[in-house]
Structure 1
Amino acid sequence: MRVHLCAVGRLRSGPERELIADYVQRFDRTGRPLGLGPLVEHEVENKKNAGMGAEADLLARAVPAGAVLVTLDERGKLLTSPEFAAQLARWRDGGRQDVAFVIGGADGIDPSLRAKADFPMSFGAMVWPHMLVRVMLAEQLYRAANILSGGPYHRA
Protein backbone atom coordinates (compact mmCIF):
# COMPACT_ATOMS: atom_id res chain seq x y z
CA MET A 1 0.00 0.00 0.00
CA ARG A 2 1.48 3.29 -1.10
CA VAL A 3 1.53 6.06 1.50
CA HIS A 4 1.11 9.69 0.51
CA LEU A 5 1.84 12.68 2.69
CA CYS A 6 -0.06 15.62 1.16
CA ALA A 7 0.72 18.95 2.80
CA VAL A 8 0.39 22.67 2.25
CA GLY A 9 3.71 24.47 1.95
CA ARG A 10 7.19 23.62 0.81
CA LEU A 11 9.53 22.35 3.47
CA ARG A 12 12.98 23.70 2.73
CA SER A 13 16.25 22.49 4.22
CA GLY A 14 16.48 22.53 7.98
CA PRO A 15 15.89 20.32 11.00
CA GLU A 16 12.31 19.38 10.06
CA ARG A 17 13.38 18.32 6.55
CA GLU A 18 16.26 16.27 7.97
CA LEU A 19 13.99 14.50 10.46
CA ILE A 20 11.37 13.74 7.81
CA ALA A 21 13.99 12.40 5.42
CA ASP A 22 15.35 10.12 8.13
CA TYR A 23 11.93 8.75 9.11
CA VAL A 24 10.83 8.33 5.50
CA GLN A 25 13.97 6.31 4.79
CA ARG A 26 13.39 4.18 7.90
CA PHE A 27 9.72 3.67 7.00
CA ASP A 28 10.53 2.64 3.44
CA ARG A 29 13.19 0.20 4.63
CA THR A 30 10.95 -1.34 7.33
CA GLY A 31 7.60 -1.06 5.57
CA ARG A 32 8.37 -2.46 2.11
CA PRO A 33 8.66 -6.09 3.25
CA LEU A 34 5.29 -5.59 4.98
CA GLY A 35 3.57 -4.22 1.87
CA LEU A 36 3.74 -0.64 3.13
CA GLY A 37 5.31 2.06 1.03
CA PRO A 38 6.84 3.82 -0.54
CA LEU A 39 6.06 7.03 1.29
CA VAL A 40 5.72 9.89 -1.19
CA GLU A 41 5.45 13.55 -0.24
CA HIS A 42 3.15 15.88 -2.20
CA GLU A 43 3.68 19.53 -1.32
CA VAL A 44 1.20 22.10 -2.59
CA GLU A 45 1.46 25.86 -2.46
CA ASN A 46 -1.33 28.38 -2.43
CA LYS A 47 0.73 31.05 -4.19
CA LYS A 48 -2.22 33.43 -4.55
CA ASN A 49 -3.06 33.22 -0.82
CA ALA A 50 -6.66 32.52 -1.79
CA GLY A 51 -7.49 30.91 1.57
CA MET A 52 -8.34 27.49 2.90
CA GLY A 53 -10.74 26.70 0.05
CA ALA A 54 -7.96 27.07 -2.51
CA GLU A 55 -5.65 24.97 -0.34
CA ALA A 56 -8.35 22.30 -0.12
CA ASP A 57 -8.60 22.18 -3.91
CA LEU A 58 -4.83 21.79 -4.25
CA LEU A 59 -4.72 19.09 -1.58
CA ALA A 60 -7.65 17.20 -3.13
CA ARG A 61 -5.80 17.12 -6.46
CA ALA A 62 -2.72 15.66 -4.72
CA VAL A 63 -4.70 12.73 -3.28
CA PRO A 64 -4.63 9.69 -5.60
CA ALA A 65 -8.00 8.44 -6.85
CA GLY A 66 -9.40 5.75 -4.58
CA ALA A 67 -7.02 6.49 -1.72
CA VAL A 68 -8.10 6.31 1.89
CA LEU A 69 -8.30 10.00 2.84
CA VAL A 70 -6.92 10.68 6.32
CA THR A 71 -7.06 14.26 7.55
CA LEU A 72 -4.82 15.44 10.37
CA ASP A 73 -7.04 17.64 12.49
CA GLU A 74 -7.43 18.32 16.22
CA ARG A 75 -11.08 17.20 15.95
CA GLY A 76 -10.05 13.79 14.63
CA LYS A 77 -9.74 10.43 16.33
CA LEU A 78 -7.00 9.92 18.90
CA LEU A 79 -5.07 6.68 18.47
CA THR A 80 -2.28 4.98 20.35
CA SER A 81 0.70 3.98 18.24
CA PRO A 82 -0.34 0.28 18.24
CA GLU A 83 -3.88 1.28 17.22
CA PHE A 84 -2.47 3.37 14.38
CA ALA A 85 -0.32 0.45 13.24
CA ALA A 86 -3.34 -1.86 13.32
CA GLN A 87 -5.40 0.63 11.28
CA LEU A 88 -2.70 0.80 8.60
CA ALA A 89 -2.63 -2.99 8.50
CA ARG A 90 -6.44 -3.15 8.14
CA TRP A 91 -6.35 -0.79 5.15
CA ARG A 92 -3.50 -2.75 3.58
CA ASP A 93 -5.11 -6.12 4.26
CA GLY A 94 -8.44 -4.80 2.98
CA GLY A 95 -6.87 -4.29 -0.43
CA ARG A 96 -6.44 -0.53 -0.35
CA GLN A 97 -3.71 0.53 -2.78
CA ASP A 98 -3.15 4.02 -1.40
CA VAL A 99 -3.61 5.97 1.80
CA ALA A 100 -3.23 9.76 1.77
CA PHE A 101 -2.54 11.74 4.91
CA VAL A 102 -3.57 15.38 4.44
CA ILE A 103 -2.04 18.21 6.46
CA GLY A 104 -3.47 21.67 6.00
CA GLY A 105 -1.74 25.01 6.18
CA ALA A 106 -1.54 27.47 9.04
CA ASP A 107 -5.34 27.79 9.19
CA GLY A 108 -6.01 24.05 9.08
CA ILE A 109 -8.08 22.05 6.59
CA ASP A 110 -11.10 23.58 4.90
CA PRO A 111 -14.41 22.08 6.14
CA SER A 112 -15.26 20.94 2.59
CA LEU A 113 -12.20 18.67 2.50
CA ARG A 114 -12.59 17.59 6.14
CA ALA A 115 -16.10 16.40 5.29
CA LYS A 116 -14.69 14.04 2.63
CA ALA A 117 -12.27 12.35 5.02
CA ASP A 118 -12.53 8.60 5.44
CA PHE A 119 -10.62 8.86 8.68
CA PRO A 120 -10.02 12.12 10.57
CA MET A 121 -7.06 11.67 12.89
CA SER A 122 -5.60 13.81 15.67
CA PHE A 123 -2.29 14.11 17.44
CA GLY A 124 -4.15 15.65 20.40
CA ALA A 125 -6.38 18.54 21.33
CA MET A 126 -3.54 21.02 20.96
CA VAL A 127 -2.93 22.68 17.64
CA TRP A 128 0.51 21.83 16.24
CA PRO A 129 2.50 23.78 13.65
CA HIS A 130 1.80 22.11 10.31
CA MET A 131 5.52 21.61 9.63
CA LEU A 132 5.93 19.72 12.92
CA VAL A 133 2.88 17.58 12.15
CA ARG A 134 4.75 16.29 9.09
CA VAL A 135 7.64 15.19 11.30
CA MET A 136 5.29 13.60 13.84
CA LEU A 137 3.41 11.74 11.10
CA ALA A 138 6.61 10.48 9.46
CA GLU A 139 7.82 9.21 12.84
CA GLN A 140 4.49 7.50 13.60
CA LEU A 141 4.48 5.83 10.18
CA TYR A 142 7.94 4.43 10.86
CA ARG A 143 6.86 3.39 14.37
CA ALA A 144 3.78 1.65 12.92
CA ALA A 145 5.91 -0.29 10.43
CA ASN A 146 8.27 -1.25 13.23
CA ILE A 147 5.37 -2.42 15.42
CA LEU A 148 3.97 -4.50 12.55
CA SER A 149 7.37 -6.03 11.89
CA GLY A 150 7.84 -6.96 15.55
CA GLY A 151 10.83 -4.65 15.83
CA PRO A 152 12.22 -3.17 19.05
CA TYR A 153 11.67 0.57 18.29
CA HIS A 154 8.29 0.77 20.05
CA ARG A 155 8.48 -0.02 23.73
CA ALA A 156 5.02 0.08 25.26
Structure 2
Amino acid sequence: MNITVVCIGKLKEGYWREAIAEYGKRLNKYCTLVIDELKEERLPDNASAAEEAGVKESEGKNILKRIKPGGYVIALDVKGKALSSEGLAEKLDSLGIEGKSDVTFIIGGSLGLSPEVLARADLRLSFSSMTFPHQMMRVILLEQIYRAFKINKNETYHK
Protein backbone atom coordinates (compact mmCIF):
# COMPACT_ATOMS: atom_id res chain seq x y z
CA MET A 1 0.00 0.00 0.00
CA ASN A 2 1.14 3.53 -0.76
CA ILE A 3 0.42 6.00 2.04
CA THR A 4 0.87 9.72 1.44
CA VAL A 5 0.46 12.30 4.17
CA VAL A 6 -0.16 15.74 2.70
CA CYS A 7 0.27 18.34 5.41
CA ILE A 8 0.53 22.07 5.77
CA GLY A 9 3.66 23.41 7.39
CA LYS A 10 7.15 22.18 8.10
CA LEU A 11 8.28 20.56 11.31
CA LYS A 12 10.59 22.99 13.05
CA GLU A 13 11.33 21.15 16.28
CA GLY A 14 13.78 18.26 16.24
CA TYR A 15 11.69 16.06 18.52
CA TRP A 16 8.78 16.05 16.02
CA ARG A 17 11.17 15.22 13.15
CA GLU A 18 12.69 12.39 15.22
CA ALA A 19 9.25 10.93 15.99
CA ILE A 20 8.23 11.12 12.33
CA ALA A 21 11.49 9.45 11.28
CA GLU A 22 10.94 6.66 13.82
CA TYR A 23 7.43 5.88 12.61
CA GLY A 24 8.57 6.19 9.01
CA LYS A 25 11.22 3.56 9.72
CA ARG A 26 8.67 1.28 11.40
CA LEU A 27 6.15 1.68 8.59
CA ASN A 28 8.75 0.87 5.94
CA LYS A 29 8.05 -2.87 6.21
CA TYR A 30 4.28 -2.42 5.72
CA CYS A 31 3.88 0.32 3.13
CA THR A 32 5.52 3.00 1.07
CA LEU A 33 5.23 6.24 3.03
CA VAL A 34 5.56 9.72 1.56
CA ILE A 35 5.23 12.88 3.64
CA ASP A 36 4.39 15.86 1.44
CA GLU A 37 4.89 19.09 3.38
CA LEU A 38 3.25 22.13 1.81
CA LYS A 39 3.95 25.77 2.53
CA GLU A 40 1.87 27.35 5.26
CA GLU A 41 0.30 30.55 3.94
CA ARG A 42 1.00 33.76 5.84
CA LEU A 43 -1.86 35.12 7.87
CA PRO A 44 -1.73 38.67 9.21
CA ASP A 45 -2.34 39.34 12.90
CA ASN A 46 -6.02 40.09 13.56
CA ALA A 47 -6.94 38.68 10.15
CA SER A 48 -10.45 39.21 8.88
CA ALA A 49 -12.76 36.31 8.08
CA ALA A 50 -12.18 37.02 4.39
CA GLU A 51 -8.39 36.83 4.83
CA GLU A 52 -8.73 33.54 6.72
CA ALA A 53 -10.98 32.15 3.98
CA GLY A 54 -8.41 33.21 1.39
CA VAL A 55 -5.63 31.37 3.22
CA LYS A 56 -7.74 28.20 3.50
CA GLU A 57 -8.63 28.44 -0.20
CA SER A 58 -4.99 28.90 -1.23
CA GLU A 59 -3.77 26.03 0.96
CA GLY A 60 -6.69 23.93 -0.30
CA LYS A 61 -5.73 24.44 -3.94
CA ASN A 62 -2.17 23.34 -3.16
CA ILE A 63 -3.44 20.26 -1.33
CA LEU A 64 -5.77 19.26 -4.17
CA LYS A 65 -2.87 19.40 -6.65
CA ARG A 66 -1.06 16.71 -4.60
CA ILE A 67 -3.86 14.14 -4.63
CA LYS A 68 -3.30 11.26 -7.04
CA PRO A 69 -6.19 10.65 -9.43
CA GLY A 70 -8.16 7.62 -8.29
CA GLY A 71 -6.54 7.63 -4.85
CA TYR A 72 -8.55 7.27 -1.67
CA VAL A 73 -8.50 10.47 0.38
CA ILE A 74 -8.87 10.68 4.15
CA ALA A 75 -9.09 14.23 5.49
CA LEU A 76 -8.45 14.79 9.18
CA ASP A 77 -11.39 16.87 10.33
CA VAL A 78 -12.56 17.53 13.88
CA LYS A 79 -16.16 17.17 12.60
CA GLY A 80 -15.42 13.89 10.83
CA LYS A 81 -16.19 10.30 11.72
CA ALA A 82 -14.47 8.90 14.80
CA LEU A 83 -12.89 5.46 14.43
CA SER A 84 -11.20 3.25 16.98
CA SER A 85 -7.72 1.93 16.23
CA GLU A 86 -9.35 -1.34 15.19
CA GLY A 87 -11.77 0.61 12.98
CA LEU A 88 -8.92 2.35 11.19
CA ALA A 89 -7.18 -1.01 10.76
CA GLU A 90 -10.36 -2.47 9.23
CA LYS A 91 -10.70 0.53 6.92
CA LEU A 92 -7.12 0.24 5.63
CA ASP A 93 -7.53 -3.51 5.23
CA SER A 94 -10.78 -3.13 3.26
CA LEU A 95 -9.20 -0.49 1.01
CA GLY A 96 -6.41 -2.95 0.19
CA ILE A 97 -8.92 -5.70 -0.56
CA GLU A 98 -10.84 -3.31 -2.83
CA GLY A 99 -7.62 -2.64 -4.76
CA LYS A 100 -7.24 0.93 -3.51
CA SER A 101 -3.52 0.94 -2.95
CA ASP A 102 -3.00 4.73 -2.95
CA VAL A 103 -4.29 6.31 0.26
CA THR A 104 -3.75 9.98 1.01
CA PHE A 105 -4.23 11.44 4.47
CA ILE A 106 -4.60 15.21 4.66
CA ILE A 107 -3.69 17.37 7.65
CA GLY A 108 -4.64 21.02 7.32
CA GLY A 109 -2.98 24.05 8.78
CA SER A 110 -4.03 26.10 11.79
CA LEU A 111 -7.28 27.18 10.10
CA GLY A 112 -8.31 23.70 9.03
CA LEU A 113 -9.21 22.51 5.55
CA SER A 114 -11.04 24.31 2.78
CA PRO A 115 -14.54 23.20 1.79
CA GLU A 116 -13.13 21.98 -1.55
CA VAL A 117 -10.67 19.65 0.19
CA LEU A 118 -13.35 18.35 2.54
CA ALA A 119 -15.64 17.74 -0.45
CA ARG A 120 -12.91 15.76 -2.22
CA ALA A 121 -12.31 13.52 0.79
CA ASP A 122 -13.67 9.99 0.62
CA LEU A 123 -13.59 9.91 4.43
CA ARG A 124 -13.47 12.72 6.94
CA LEU A 125 -11.73 11.28 9.99
CA SER A 126 -11.79 12.77 13.49
CA PHE A 127 -9.25 11.74 16.09
CA SER A 128 -11.00 13.79 18.76
CA SER A 129 -13.33 16.71 19.25
CA MET A 130 -10.27 18.50 20.66
CA THR A 131 -7.92 20.50 18.48
CA PHE A 132 -4.27 19.42 18.26
CA PRO A 133 -1.27 21.23 16.78
CA HIS A 134 -0.76 19.96 13.23
CA GLN A 135 2.83 18.93 14.08
CA MET A 136 1.59 16.68 16.88
CA MET A 137 -1.25 15.38 14.73
CA ARG A 138 1.25 14.17 12.16
CA VAL A 139 2.97 12.02 14.80
CA ILE A 140 -0.35 10.73 16.16
CA LEU A 141 -1.53 9.86 12.65
CA LEU A 142 1.63 7.92 11.79
CA GLU A 143 1.46 6.05 15.08
CA GLN A 144 -2.14 5.05 14.35
CA ILE A 145 -1.31 3.95 10.80
CA TYR A 146 1.53 1.84 12.23
CA ARG A 147 -0.82 0.42 14.85
CA ALA A 148 -3.37 -0.40 12.13
CA PHE A 149 -0.82 -2.41 10.15
CA LYS A 150 0.27 -4.24 13.31
CA ILE A 151 -3.38 -5.08 14.10
CA ASN A 152 -4.00 -6.31 10.56
CA LYS A 153 -0.90 -8.54 10.68
CA ASN A 154 -1.85 -9.91 14.14
CA GLU A 155 1.50 -8.72 15.48
CA THR A 156 2.00 -7.65 19.06
CA TYR A 157 1.96 -3.92 19.72
CA HIS A 158 -1.71 -3.07 20.08
CA LYS A 159 -3.25 -3.80 23.47
Fold equivalence (TM over 0.5): yes
Alignment partners' CA distance in 2, 1:109 and 1:65: 19
Alignment-derived partner of residue 40 in structure 1: 34
Alignment-derived partner of residue 70 in structure 1: 74
Structure 1, unaligned stretches of length 5 or more?
A: 32-36
| TM-score normalised by structure 1 residue count | 0.91
Partners of 1:46 and 1:54 within 8 A in 2? no
Match of 2:120, SS state, is coil
Alignment-derived partner of residue 57 in structure 2: 53
Partners of 2:64 and 2:117 within 8 A in 1? yes
Could you tell me how far 1:27 is from its partner in structure 2?
1.3
Alignment partners' CA distance in 2, 1:14 and 1:119: 31
Task: Report the AA paired with residue 12 of structure 2.
Answer: R
Identity of aligned residues (%): 34
Could you tell me how far 1:25 is from its partner in structure 2?
1.0
Cα 1:59–1:98 change in 2 (3 A) is: same
Match of 1:51, SS state, is helix
Residues paired across the two proteins, number: 149
Could you tell me how far 1:46 is from its partner in structure 2?
3.9
Alignment-derived partner of residue 9 in structure 2: 9
Task: Report the AA paired with residue 22 of structure 1.
Answer: E
Deviations 1:95-136 (A, max 9, x none): 012000000000010112111210000111011111111000
Deviations 1:14-56 (A, max 9, x none): 1111111101111122x1xxxxx20100111045655010000
Partners of 1:78 and 1:123 within 8 A in 2? yes
Question: Considering only aligned residues, what root-mean-square deviation do their CA atoms show, in Å?
Answer: 1.3
Instruction: Trace 1:81-120 onto structure 2 (pairs within 5 A).
Output: 81-120=85-124
Alignment partners' CA distance in 1, 2:154 and 2:117: 35
Alignment-derived partner of residue 26 in structure 1: 26
Pairing 1:145–2:149 present: yes
Question: Any runs of at least 4 consecutive aligned residues in structure 1 with deviations exceeding 6 A, and if so which?
Answer: none
Could you tell me how far 1:12 is from its partner in structure 2?
3.3
